[in-house]
Amino acid sequence: MEKPSIKTPPWIDKIFYPFTPHTFATENGLMHYVDEGKGDPIVFVHGTPTWSFVWRQQIKSLSRNYRCIAPDHVGFGLSEKPTEFAYTPEAHAQNLEQLLESLNLSKITLVVHDFGGPIGLSYALKCPDKIKNVVVLNTWMWSLEGEKKITKISGFMNSGIGKFLYQRLAFSPRVLLPQGYHESKHFTKDIKQHYLKPLSSSSARLGTWHFAVALKESGTWFDQLWAQREKLRHLNMLLIWGEKDKLLPLSLLEQWEQHFPEAKVVRVKAGHFLQEEKGSEVTAAIKEFVLENL
């Protein structure tokens, strides 16, 4: 029986994204992932409304010396977009766990951003012996109940109007994504197309809506993760933060710093999508950090 596969669509510019597609069959649909280079693994976990494309600068550079793995969550990027899937962060975390377990990795450097934070760190909490380093970019791992603005917006998105904005009007890639840049010059027309194309239909945008709702609705799960944070204490941790983030408050970085005072911190003058705006700085910080912790 032929193994199911996902082909690279013609709209992808291979200068930007020259990677060979790989496919993993989850219980919920086919997951596309990048697997480039050889050496100790670096696993990149994206958030919303992005996909593995957001890590392309880091993968191109770091895959010269490391094995770089970057999945697209089901419902995002080149992965399948089923209509009958929970799309909760918990469900995405289960998919990621299935993928990483199938690859039989060890000594992982786990790099997480946005919703990729709780999703990826959930795996680190379950399998801390397989993780060596954790790199955290503009994300969280606790209930955002204290962030009233975020939870209020999330609650509104869990309405008919909110769902219409996300599914019919592509609110996440068309409105929020540009706001995630500190300098709009980095959000070129070509880059924009690579984020719009995977979300070109109403049904394809279901995942982005579920993430918006989850900011509030998944608070209990986030807190369950945070309650286990001591399991991460022995890991080397690097916090790379875009301090011009308009989507997530700087107080999230302060929370990480307060509870992980031994973590190395690198602040960059960038918005939420710092790996796009300051790609070389982010890559250099990861590279230096991994080398420091051989």
Range list of H helices, 107-147: 116-126
Q: What is the pLDDT of residue 7?
A: 86
Query: pLDDT under 50 in the chain at which residues?
Result: none
Q: What is the pLDDT of residue 2?
A: 58
Q: What is the pLDDT of residue 193?
A: 98
Q: How far apart are CA 220 and CA 227, in angstroms?
A: 11
How many beta carbons lie within 10 A of that of residue 4, not counting itself?
11
Give strand pairing partners of 26: 29
pTM: 0.98
Q: How far apart are CA 30 and CA 37, in angstroms?
A: 22
Cα 232 to Cα 91, 93, 105, 257, 265: the distances in Å are: 22, 17, 18, 14, 16
Q: How far apart are CA 242 and CA 285, in angstroms?
A: 13
CATH of domain 22-147+220-292: 3.40.50.1820
Radius of gyration of the chain from its Cα atoms, rounded to whole angstroms: 18
Q: What is the pLDDT of residue 168?
A: 96
